[in-house]
Amino acid sequence: MKIISFHLRGKMAHFRRYYANSSALSYSIPPRTTLIGIVAGLLGWERDKYYEIFSLNSCKVAVASCAPVKKCMQKLNLLMIKKAGDLNGSAEHHSQTATELIIPQNIRTGIIDYQVWLHHRDNKIMDMLGKLLQLEGRGYKSLGISLALGTVFNLGWVDDGCIIEGVEKEKSNDLSIASVIPVKKLIGIQTERMGADEYRLVKEEIPLEFDSQRHITERGLGNMMINLNSSPIPAGVESYVQLENGKCIMWME
Amino acid sequence: MNLPQLTACIGDSLKNANHNLLTSLIKRLKKVKETETAYSVFLIFDLEAREIRFCLNKELSESCVDKYFYFGNNSAASSQYYLARETKSLNYLLTSVLSDLYSMLGKYNMPIGELASIIKRMESSGLIQLAPKKGDGRVNLGEFSIVKGNDKLNVAFDNKALTIDGHNYGFEAVIRLFINDDNKKNRYVLVIPVVKLENGEEIILSTHPEYLELVRQANNLGDEPQTGKDGGRVCYVCGSKKSGVSSDYSAKFSRSGINKIFTTTTINTSPYLQNNNYDQIYSMCTSCYQKILHGEKIITEQFRSRIAGEDVFIIPEGLTASFNYNFLFRLKNGVDLAFNTNIANKWLDDLEGALDFDQVQLYSLNFLFYRTDGNSVSILETIEDVPTLRFVKVMRILAEKTFDMEHQLREFSIGQIYRIIPVRTNKKGEQLDIGNVLSLYKALLLGEQIRSAALINYAADALDKGMRQLSKDKADNYQNMGLRYYAGGREDFFIKRIIMSYLVLIETCQQLNILDKPVFDFNGEGANHLDKINTASEKVNSSIEAMEKFLDDRKFDKEARALFYLGVLINRVAIAQLEKEHKKKPVLKKIQFQGMKSKEVYRLYLDVLEKLQQYDRFSLFAEAVLNRLHYYGSFNHTEMLGERENVFFIMSGYAYLVGTKTPDITKGEEDIMADSIEESDHNETPIS
């Protein structure tokens, strides 16, 4: 199968957890719903109109954190919005909101780097996306939105877009998985193959899919095992995708 | 970490034999002092005698809140219909509770039940006045037994007290009037309304089945609705499709509990800022709501703690599917203890005895630091998914490094980190820069990178702020550093604790490989060319060798060693100045804790030489120290180290000698120092 691979990069990110409100906590990786939102936005599609096109059946997405990240809590001085008219900043007070930001281990020198792999059943979409992301050199690789890592003030950019081949394979007990791992497909992590300081494994439940009404579906939430230190995770898994460059990845589902 | 899931899991797993749906709502009463005895009282509405009186019930026990269903006050602007109340909230009982209860019975389709009928009879007896509007009803205070029949006695009421015949009485004092008890050691803390019917039968209203059913319904604690034909919606917590899935439940959670962090329905969470469709963003089913509500109560009661002067929820989480609540609770207590102990090693010994280590590795820890004003919760910092083994590893390295310090630092633990970073407080007592401490904890526990310069800056800042405070008559800020303990001329021990603690901390960070660049990495280059010190005095030789060993163990590089020896000489001058009755040790004023350039260090070095001469302390020991100093560095204006690093390493030499007799100590100095040396033998790190 053809798979589009690209990197989402930026200096800071914030992917608000669906349950966080008064204090805006963040996921460590962009959830699948955020990634398809970014892709749909790059294709110039309208908000809330693409959920079914990118359903779990039609579109496969995998993601990996390629640079070590950490989270820091910052109070942001947000506009106090009680009605849409307040968006012009006319409200008397601001809202000091504790916000969790994802930043590189060293914010002076590092960047955030997520690698995304995407396969869509519809070849037209694959072609459009392929052309868009494989633009050579620097350029505005979007037909619609500006790319942001989560919230709009965390601007990012797309790099290293390419198309590679991948083969779906069944169960194996001795792999190094480059992407995040859906826990339900995890047989076991081989801790004996993990170096002491290379791994910071966290488990997060992230949104995967909405229906056309933007309601979460029954399979729309999934637990993912993530290594925040960017090394592949040695593990046994139920199914995976072998890429032509030798890497093994797993779809978020 | 998924907080709602984790909270629901804890709520679901701890349902004891007495658990019922209302258990989640029951609140604990604030404890009275040990010398006092708490009682509950009945507020009796006597329909037969047509009077109202307080009557002693019994001594308060832990189970009273469950027996009489004490739910606290209804939150926010909702109807105040909860019946059992704390005495300090008696104002609600004397005003709208019964009227609001009557309205609520009507609202929830129970207007003709027994309870509603009793309330109606109370009204017709003239004991209470019902009102159609929320908050408007009241109890007829003129029907109090102590004033009834005496028209001259006038009873007035405000929210905190009653005025009877011109005298002001607090609520507890009013109860004492009825019970005729002047003993202040007896405290009347819980008031339970009771109705005495015309036939003499007494009914405790807060245990009436219709009241309990009302509470259940009003709090969505009933049974889960059957899934209709539409199939319902998907619950964000359990992921199942059900009926009754709604975001409305979020408004029922405590305003100061853990759920407040993640559940409210505000315009910010509505799509397109339309103030509707909250259910699209986050909604839950009845069953999950009940689990989360119960989990919230358990977490508030059992998983809350204080670290670094801030409130924190410490919630362990199983990495596998297994979920052992008791182990979770013991783990939380163990971690809590780690932050409250001074000695890391002792904690490790205790832990090994208390917990099964094979099980420990299957868990991770989540810390949520927060502040609440009772109406909202704001997160200060989250430290998530800390493997318990990582926590133990940090404690173990801290213990090892402290042990290596031998007599220089007796106690250090993870909780002590809070004691060495200056934290300013405002007039309200809020800690303003606590973020520095919490970020450091986070970096240690999660393996995040720390700038080594930041640690050195903290150390120099601690010395600067601490010494300034200690120079005042009374320290008025940065109390987290335990400054009171060092007031009155003990600042040397403050310096020693700060410096030695930072040495342990930096070594620990270095071993954990989280520093951006190592602070101590002397590879021994040049050391083998150095002759062993060999003076005529064996004492001097062994003293210098001990210092060399200290520096070798810490891997101080050459420039740092030179500064260390300069610090030793400064301490030598300070001792001499003490003997000359310079209580403030003027030589310390020559050190700029905010940072010193190499030029300033050189000037300090010249000053120290002059002072040694002035006080006639150019002894064999001082010569030997100078020998080492000149071997390692010449202060020839090179900027090898940063300004604050210069100060840190100078002060490490100064701190090394605190509480230690130098080989050239004079009789006079020994007498002066006798007290402080003795004190150093018993020197312990102050705890809060």
With CB atoms and an 8 Å threshold, state whether A203 touches B385: yes
Cβ of residue B268 closer than 8 Å to a chain A Cβ: yes
Cβ contact B437:B423 at 8 Å:
yes
Which positions 283-322 of B are in contact with A (Cβ < 8 Å)?
319
User: What is the pLDDT at residue B135?
Assistant: 83
Residue in chain B lying closest to A224 (CA): B1
Domain extent for B190 = 23-219
Identify the H or E element spanning B623: helix B620-632
Cβ–Cβ under 8 Å, residues B281 and B247: yes
Tell which wins on pLDDT, A237 or B4: A237
Question: Tens of pLDDT along B489-548?
Answer: 888 899 999 999 999 999 999 999 899 888 887 766 655 455 677 777 888 888 998 898
A253 touches chain B (CB under 8 A): no
CATH number assigned to the domain comprising residue A27: 3.30.70.3120
Calpha distance A168→A248 (Å, rounded): 10
Q: Which residues of B261-292 are buried (b: 16+ CB within 10 A; e: fewer)?
A: bbbbbeebbbeeeebeebbbbbbbbbbbbbbb
> Do residue B406 and residue B502 come from a single domain?
yes
Helix (H) or strand (E) run with residue B100 in it: helix B97-107
Q: Is A70–B513 a contact, with Cβ atoms under 8 angstroms apart? A: no
Q: Residue B454's pLDDT is what? A: 94
Residues B512 and B375 in one domain: yes
What ipTM goes with this model?
Answer: 0.90
Query: Which band of pLDDT confidence, cut at 50, 70 and 90, is reported for residue B282?
Result: confident
How many other C-beta atoms are found inside a 10 Å radius of the C-beta of residue B613? Answer: 11
pLDDT at A116: 96
Average pLDDT over residues B318-340: 78
- Look at chain B and report how many structural domains it folds into: 4
The alpha carbon of residue B273 is apart from the nearest alpha carbon of chain A, in Å, by 6
Is A106 in the B-facing interface, judged by CB distances under 8 Å?
Answer: yes
Instruction: Give tens-digit pLDDT for B616-648.
Output: 888 899 999 998 888 887 766 556 788 899 999
| Other CB atoms within 10 A of residue A244 CB | 10
Tokens representing A119 are 């396969």
Dihedral, CA of residue B562, residue B563, residue B568 and residue B569, to nearest 10: 80
Contact list, B236 vs chain A (CB under 8 Å): 18-19, 216, 221
Of B304, B338, B368, which closes a domain?
B304
Same domain, B369 and B512: yes
Task: Report the alpha-carbon distance of residue B406 to residue B401 in Å, rounded.
Answer: 9
Q: With CB atoms and an 8 Å threshold, state whether B234 touches A105.
A: no
pLDDT at position B680 over 60 = no
* DSSP class per residue in B144-188: BTTTTT-TT--EEE-SSEEEETTEEEEHHHHHHHHHT---TTEEE
Beta carbons within 8 Å of B134's beta carbon, 6+ residues apart:
B79, B96, B100, B103
Q: Which long-range contacts (CB under 8 A, 24 or more apart) does B243-251 make?
A: B244/B285, B244/B286, B245/B279, B245/B283, B245/B284, B245/B285, B246/B279, B246/B283, B246/B284, B247/B278, B247/B279, B247/B281, B247/B282, B247/B283, B247/B284, B248/B220, B249/B220, B249/B284, B249/B286, B249/B289, B250/B282, B250/B284
Portion 64-103 of A in contact with B at CB < 8 A:
68, 70-73, 81-84, 87, 98, 100
Residue A245: how many other CB atoms lie within 10 Å? 11
Instruction: Give me chain A's average pLDDT, please.
Output: 90
Give percent above pLDDT 90 in chain A: 60
Q: What is the pLDDT of residues A158-181, one digit of tens each?
A: 988 899 999 999 988 889 999 999
Domain limits for position A133: 2-249
Is any Cβ of chain A less than 8 angstroms from the Cβ of B371?
Answer: no
**B525 contacts: CB under 8 Å, gap ≥ 6:** none
A43–chain B nearest CA distance, Å: 21
Beta bridge partners of A237: A172, A186
Q: In the predicted model, is pLDDT for residue B323 greater than 50?
A: yes
Residues 182-201 of A with CB under 8 A from B: 197, 200-201
C-alpha to C-alpha distances, B533 to B536, B539, B544, B554, B625, nearest whole angstrom: 10, 11, 7, 20, 10
On the 0-12 / 13-18 / 19+ scale of CB atoms within 10 A, A211 is: middle
Which residue has 């965390």 as its token pair? A154
Based on the number of CB atoms within 10 Å of its own CB, is B491 exposed (0-12), middle (13-18) or buried (19 or more)?
buried
Task: Pick the closest to residue B234 from A35, A18, A17 (CA basis).
Answer: A18
Inter-chain CB proximity B263 and A19 less than 8 Å? yes
Domain edge (last residue) among B244, B278, B304? B304
Does the pLDDT of residue B11 top 60, yes or no? Answer: yes
CA B275, distance to chain mean position in Å, is 36
The pLDDT, as a whole number, for residue A45 is: 93
**From B269, which residue of chain A is nearest by alpha-carbon distance?**
A21
Question: From A110, which residue of chain B is nearest by alpha-carbon distance?
Answer: B449
DSSP H helices, B316-451, are 325-340, 344-354, 357-360, 388-404, 435-446
Contact present, B242 and B232 (Cβ < 8 Å): yes
pLDDT at site B196: 93
Report the pLDDT averaged over residues B211-224: 84
DSSP-based helix, strand, coil % in chain B, nearest 5: 50, 15, 40
| Of the residues B219, B247, B278, the one at which a domain ends | B219
**pLDDT tens-digit map of A91-131:** 888 888 889 999 998 888 999 999 999 999 999 999 999 98
With CB atoms and an 8 Å threshold, state whether A215 touches B261: no
Other Cβ atoms less than 10 A from the Cβ of B137: the count is: 23
Q: Is B382 on the interface with A (CB under 8 A)?
A: yes
Chain A and chain B share a number of CB contacts under 8 A equal to 102
User: Pick from A19, A21, A215: which is nearest to B234 by CB?
Assistant: A215
A217 to chain B, any CB pair closer than 8 A? The answer is yes
- Cβ-Cβ contacts under 8 Å for B20 (sequence gap 6 or more): none
Q: Which residue has the tokens 């002759």?
A: B531
Closest CA relative to residue B487, chosen from B467, B506, B465, B505: B467
> 3-class SS at A40?
helix
Among A197-211, B145-159, B507-521, the range scoring the smallest mean pLDDT is B145-159
- Pair (B526, B512) in one structural domain: no
Identify the pLDDT of residue A58: 95
Taken in order A212, A214, A220, A224, is the CA torsion positive or negative? positive
pLDDT (tens digit per residue) in B341-389: 877 777 887 777 666 666 676 788 999 999 988 777 888 999 988 988 8
Give the mean pLDDT of chain B: 85
Q: Verify whether the Cβ–Cβ distance B5 to A201 is below 8 Å.
A: no
Q: How large is the average pLDDT for residues B252-260?
A: 78
Burial call A162-192: b when 16+ CB within 10 Å, e when fewer: eeeebeeeeebeebebbbbbbeebbeebeee
Q: Nearest residue on chain A to B267, judged by CA atoms? A: A82
Which pair of structure tokens corresponds to residue A115?
A: 């690698």
Using CA coordinates, name the residue in chain B closest to A199. B447
Read off the DSSP letter of residue A175.
Answer: E
Q: Which residues lie closer than 8 Å to A139 by C-beta, 6 or more apart?
A: none
As a whole number of angstroms, the distance between CA A220 and CA A240 comes to 20
- By C-alpha distance, the chain B residue nearest A19 is B262
Measured in angstroms, the CA of A137 and the nearest CA of chain B are apart by: 32
Neighbouring CB atoms inside 10 A of B484's CB total: 13
Q: Using 50, 70 and 90 to split pLDDT, how confident is the model at A194?
A: confident
Contact present, B157 and B163 (Cβ < 8 Å) = yes
pTM over 0.95: no
Same domain for B198 and B143? yes
The full 3-state SS of A88-118, as one line of letters, equals HCCCCCEEEEEEEEEEECCCCCCCEEEEEEE
* Closest chain B residue by Cα to residue A207: B236
Structure tokens belonging to residue A34 = 């955020």
Nearest CB neighbour to B446, from listed A23, A100, A200: A200
Taking the C-alpha atoms of residue B214 and residue B567, their distance in angstroms, rounded to an integer, is: 74
Chain A within 8 Å of B53 (Cβ-Cβ)? no
* Whether B465 and B369 share a structural domain: yes
Mean pLDDT for B586-608 is 91
What pLDDT is attached to residue B682?
45
Report CB contact under 8 Å: A218, B239.
Answer: yes
Cα separation of B609 and A13, whole Å?
A: 55
DSSP state of B528: G
Closest Cβ–Cβ partner in A71, A82, A200 for B447: A200
Report CB contact under 8 Å: B2, A204.
yes
pLDDT band, residue B687 (cuts 50/70/90): very low
Question: Tens digit of pLDDT for each residue in B458-482?
Answer: 999 999 999 999 988 888 999 999 9
Q: Which of residues 421-480 of B touch A (CB under 8 A)?
A: 435, 439, 442-443, 446-449
Residues B314 and B456 in one domain: yes
Higher-pLDDT residue of A39, A21 = A39
DSSP letter assigned to residue B377? E
The backbone torsions φ and ψ at residue B92, rounded to the nearest 5 degrees and listed phi first, read -65, -45
The length of chain B, given as a count of residues: 688
Q: Which of A175-179, B101-105, B246-250, B379-383 has the lowest mean pLDDT?
A: B246-250
Alpha-carbon distance of B252 to B98, in angstroms, equals 22
Q: Which candidate from B384, B443, B513 shows the least CB-CB separation from A202?
A: B384
Residue B366 contacts A, CB cutoff 8 Å: no
pLDDT of the residue at B354: 67
Interchain pair B380, A218: CB under 8 A? no
Output the CA–CA distances (angstroms, integers) from residue B474 to B431, B495, B684, in the order listed.
19, 18, 21
Say whether both B540 and B610 belong to one domain: yes
Q: Which of B49, B179, B41 is nearest to B127 (CA)?
A: B49
Q: B7 and B259 in contact (C-beta within 8 Å)?
A: yes
CB contact, 8 Å: B232 with chain A?
no
| Smallest Cα distance from B297 to chain A, Å | 19
Average pLDDT over residues B242-270: 75
Residue B452 and residue B326 in contact, taking contact as beta carbons nearer than 8 Å: no
Q: Which of B266, B280, B447 sits opposite A215 (nearest CB)?
A: B280
pLDDT at B314: 92
Give A142→chain B minimum CA distance, Å: 23
Contacts of B311 in chain A (CB under 8 A): none
Measure CB to CB from residue B516 to each of A18, A106, A200 and give the nearest one.
A106
Interchain CB contact of B5 with A (< 8 Å): yes
Residue B381 contacts A, CB cutoff 8 Å: yes
